[in-house]
A and B are shown apart, each in its own frame.
Chain A
Amino acid sequence: AQSVAQPEDQVNVAEGNPLTVKCTYSVSGNPYLFWYVQYPNRGLQFLLKYITGDNLVKGSYGFEAEFNKSQTSFHLKKPSALVSDSALYFCAVRDYSGGGADGLTFGKGTHLIIQP
């Protein structure tokens, strides 16, 4: 069975500082990893994904994530935080076991708060 852990319920960062939101995963096959963001009273929006290739993945709004197979991690990063980045962030994984349209397994989410 696959699982995702987001060890921090909340991350506080000052505006202009770099930010990191942590994610670790567990899968039996090859991991396919995603980050989503949810603004208040909104659905989830896709930020970026890792399928294969370069370990550093760039996504929307200046976010990037680094896939680390040995540490089974996929941390979300941004060099300079904006107040508008404040939201709820979800890491998710799909474990490709040979076919089908299995859904995503999500972490519990991390509240990111950017302080002016």
Chain B
Amino acid sequence: DVKVTQSSRYLVKRTGEKVFLECVQDMDHENMFWYRQDPGLGLRLIYFSYDVKMKEKGDIPEGYSVSREKKERFSLILESASTNQTSMYLCASDAGFFNEQFFGPGTRLTVL
């Protein structure tokens, strides 16, 4: 059974903290993605990666960075968390442009 896993389901952090969200896929996919989901806004793309050590900005990259040191792992980093980054964060991967994305269960991050 193919899987995308995320390190935490729920996370509570303080304003100004550095936050790491981890994502691992076991499907040997080249492409990995980070989205955030907010009510009434749908999902918005933060960053994506099409290869190890490669990254591209999505639609809302401000305040975030990413790291992909290994093919199976894609990390999202909030350098200095702010309350407007309270959201559900979803990781996804796919095998190519015409293929469906597989999503992790999500991390609900609250920044106080």
A binds B: yes
Which of A's residues lie within 8 Å of B, judged by CB?
A: 9, 32, 34, 36, 42-46, 49, 51, 90, 92, 94, 96, 100-109
A104:B42 contact, CB within 8 angstroms: no
Known: A44-B90, A101-B96, A108-B40. 8 other contacts (CB 8 A): A32-B97, A36-B103, A44-B43, A94-B97, A101-B49, A104-B101, A106-B42, A108-B41
Q: Which of B12-20, B28-36, B68-76, B79-87 contacts A (4 or more CB under 8 A)?
A: B28-36
On whether the beta carbons of A106 and B98 are closer than 8 Å, the reply is: no
Interface flag for B56 (CB, 8 Å): yes
Residue from the set B41, B50, B101 with the largest chain A CB neighbour count within 10 Å: B101
In the assembled complex, the Cα of A90 lies from the Cα of B49 at a distance in Å of: 23
**Which of A51, A96, A101 has the most chain B CB atoms closer than 10 A to its own CB?**
A101
Q: Are B98 and A51 in contact (CB under 8 A)?
A: yes
A43 touches B103 (CB 8 A): yes
CA distance A36 to B43 in the complex (A): 11
- Distance to closest chain B CB from A85 (angstroms): 19
Q: Are B42 and A90 in contact (CB under 8 A)?
A: yes
Give chain A residues whose Cβ lies under 8 Å from the Cβ of B102: 46
Chain A contacts of B59 at CB under 8 A?
Answer: 105
